[in-house]
Structure 1
Amino acid sequence: MAINLEKGQRINLEKGNGTKLQNICVGINWGAIVKKGLFGFGTIKEAVDLDASCALYNDQKQLEEVIYFGNLRSKNGAVRHSGDDLTGDMDGDDGLDNEIITLELPALPASTTYVAFMLNSFRGQDFGAIPFASIRIYEGTPTRVNEVFAKYDIAHGAGFAGHVSMVMGVFYKRNGEWKFNAIGEPTNDKDLQNTVQTVTARYL
């Protein structure tokens, strides 16, 4: 089921053999900003703190819970955050995700109908200033990637420069079946709280 989604595309979470996807990971990989040193000599590396977050909603589009660096585990454990990375890759791209949110779809509470994923630049560093920053949404575990079905390059993607927040995508349940909407859009929000409000108003 190797599907590289375009922004705005929706898919059923079903593999080629007809079985449903169950374990989803959202991984973020990014690097520190490199600036010229004093008087143009050498370089200085500036740590970048990007924050992946996840919001759960019921079928009335009412917020149930937010999983982020200050709340690493949902109440029933179906959603888990790997922890806050405050710097990004300081020595170039190591190919590993700096933050990962794991979602077990079958373990979600029966009331949960929407699961939205967001990304915020905690210190307000512009996405366009980051040398590399990529998102992948895949089936598997934090240590095993089975199938990647959405990728975003926010460091070089058109439209992300000048923004510090974005909505990655929304998993939603219809007639008992989970589907995925690849949103991949920057927002004008400055922090997580405002981004959650934008998701609630525009993306569910």
Structure 2
Amino acid sequence: MQLLKGQKADVTKGRSLNELILSFGWSAGNAQMGIDAAAFLLSEQGRCERDEDFIFYGNPVSQDGAVTHAAAGNGDKESITVSMSRLSPKAARIALTLTIYEGERLNHRMKDVSGLYLRLLDRQSGEELHRFEYGSDLAQETAIVVGELYRHNGEWKFSAVGSGFNGGLAALCVNYGLEVEASGSAEVAAAAETAVKGTEDTKAVPEEALQPPVLSKIDLRKKIVQFTLEKKQLTGVTARVGIVLDISGSMRNLYARGVVQEVVERILAVASKFDDNGVLDVWVYDNEFSRMDSVTERDFGDYVKREILNNRSIHKFGFNNEPPVMEDVIRKYTKEEKKDKTPVFIIFINDGGVVRATKKVIKNAAVQPIFWQFVGIGNSDFEVLEGLDNMTGRVVDNADFVHLDRIEEVTDEELYDRLLNEFPHWLKAAKEKRILQP
């Protein structure tokens, strides 16, 4: 059933429906635009009473497990799944939203997004119950209240809202009663003037929003890292974190599209949880290499453009040669800073064509307190890296390889899960061999 804006439709009435999937789809006109779906679990008063009732990529599962956020397939972008039987009776409504990350600051607006839709599906049968296409009337907005699921006479119904909202994610949070950190960001520059349009109970944003609040994306990613650390039993582990970035000719497009900047930001969230100082050490390499100034949360904005692309002293877009930069990584942590006995976690980004001499460096470095997590992006030849797990003659297995064809399309949850999969095993083995202090 195709829904129109303002229309209400039965969801559970006359159906045996246990789980509902709400699948979001869109097409962004700008490849650098970040768009996120979320759900707010609301009380009878229309408030999100706890932070835990805000379900998004940084908090993907509600406390009762009834509502989950995930990446979607079959052409959809993201999905919210609701288990009707497990949902707390305190949840009277579920507001479904879509936001542009820092839309005001980056001047990314809903007019640049097309093909917006929401599909309601019976998870068990796969049947599409309703489809709501919306957004053709939007322009400068940076957020949308797509619709609401709500209880009515013991059943669930859906209200197709599709109304724009100024101020992005933080303004939505304020509107639904959540507190967010104060910041100088323009994320909610007009928060005090905004309200959800088209809902039955239009509520103005509180006056306190005159000091623009913001939810920093790196803070949200740190929450996902923390969740992953708990799952991998890595809480309490301290490590130094570094990233080595391939800047050979085949990487030119990924630098130009901002993909590499996004990778740095995502890995910085790992460093922020592992290192008390929140420092991420950075190297770039092609047939030459450069050791960069380390980056922190205070200065990561436009880091790649500012410190790498605009730096004429850095050799760029040549051919691959991994051993020299790897030797410099080893030199930094084992010679220049040898008094620091903290384990080192190196994330090595490469898009193929690794020279075979890399294997010898890894083998010789097995006695050092350094774990090498190689990440292959794109669809090039990764023969050398794919053979890491079969390498013999090492004291411990000190390297791992994961292949992520389009890393920009991989969710933070999956990225952190795969990056941190082998690290705890190396920590244990390195302590047993006295490479690390027990």
> Displacement of 1:112 after TM fit?
1.0
Q: Does 1:114 align with 2:93?
A: yes
Is the contact made by 1:166 and 1:195 (CA closer than 8 Å) also made in structure 2? Answer: no
**Larger RCO: Structure 1 or Structure 2 (Cα < 8 Å, ≥ 6 residues apart)?**
1
Asked if 1:140 is matched to 2:118, the reply is no
The alignment's C-alpha RMSD in Å is: 2.6
8 A contact 1:127–1:160 mirrored in 2: yes
Structure with the higher fraction of residues in strand conformation? 1
Could you tell me whether the CA contact under 8 Å between 2:94 and 2:150 is conserved in 1?
yes
Q: Residue 28 of structure 2 contacts residue 112 of structure 2 at CA under 8 Å; is this kept in 1?
A: no
TM-superposed CA distance for 1:129, in Å, is 1.5
Distance (whole Å) between structure 1 residues aligned to residue 175 and residue 69 of structure 2:
22
Question: Where does residue 172 of structure 2 map in the other structure?
Answer: 195
Q: Distance in 1 between matches of 2:110 and 2:55?
A: 22
Q: Determine if contact 2:39/2:55 at 8 Å carries over to the other structure.
A: yes
Is 1:59 the counterpart of 2:36 in the alignment? no
Of the candidates 142, 154, 177, which is equivalent to residue 155 of structure 2? 177
SS for the counterpart of 1:180 is strand
- Map Cα deviations across residues 117-146 of structure 1 (whole Å, 9 max, x no partner): 01101131211113x3422231233x9741
Q: Choose which of 65, 69, 93 in structure 2 pairs with 1:77.
A: 65
Report the Cα distance in structure 1 between the residues aligned to 2:176 and 2:162, rounded to whole angstroms.
12
The amino acid across from 1:181 in the alignment is: S
In 1, are the aligned partners of 2:12 and 2:155 still within 8 Å (CA)?
no
In 2, the alpha carbon distance for the partners of 1:5 and 1:121 equals 24
Q: Distance in 2 between matches of 1:6 and 1:176?
A: 24
1:45-82 deviations in whole A, cap 9, x for unaligned?
A: x3221110100112233313100121011111111111
Residues in 2 aligned to 1:181 and 1:26: alpha-carbon distance in whole angstroms: 13
Deviates more, 1:58-67 or 1:74-83: 58-67
Deviations along 1:82-134, one digit per CA (max 9) or x if unpaired, are 15x9xxxxxxxx9611211111222101211111101101131211113x342
CA distance in 2, matches of 1:162, 1:183: 17
Q: Deviations over 1:3-61 (max 9, x none)?
A: 2111111122246xx22433222222233435xxxxxxxxxxx3221110100112233
Structure 1 residues 144 and 123: alpha-carbon distance in aligned structure 2, compared to 1, 3 A threshold = farther
Alpha-carbon contact 2:17-2:122 (below 8 Å) kept: no
Q: What is the match of residue 89 of structure 1?
A: none
Pairing of 1:74-113 with structure 2 (within 5 A): 74-83=62-71, 96-113=75-92
Greater per-residue helix proportion:
2
Structure 2 stretches lacking a partner, 5+ long: 178-194, 202-438
Corresponding position: 1:50 with 2:35: yes
Is residue 126 from structure 1 mapped to residue 109 from structure 2 by the alignment?
yes
Partner SS, residue 47 of structure 1: coil
1:55 aligned counterpart, secondary structure: strand
TM-score (norm 2): 0.36
Task: Calculate percent identity across the aligned residue pairs.
Answer: 26
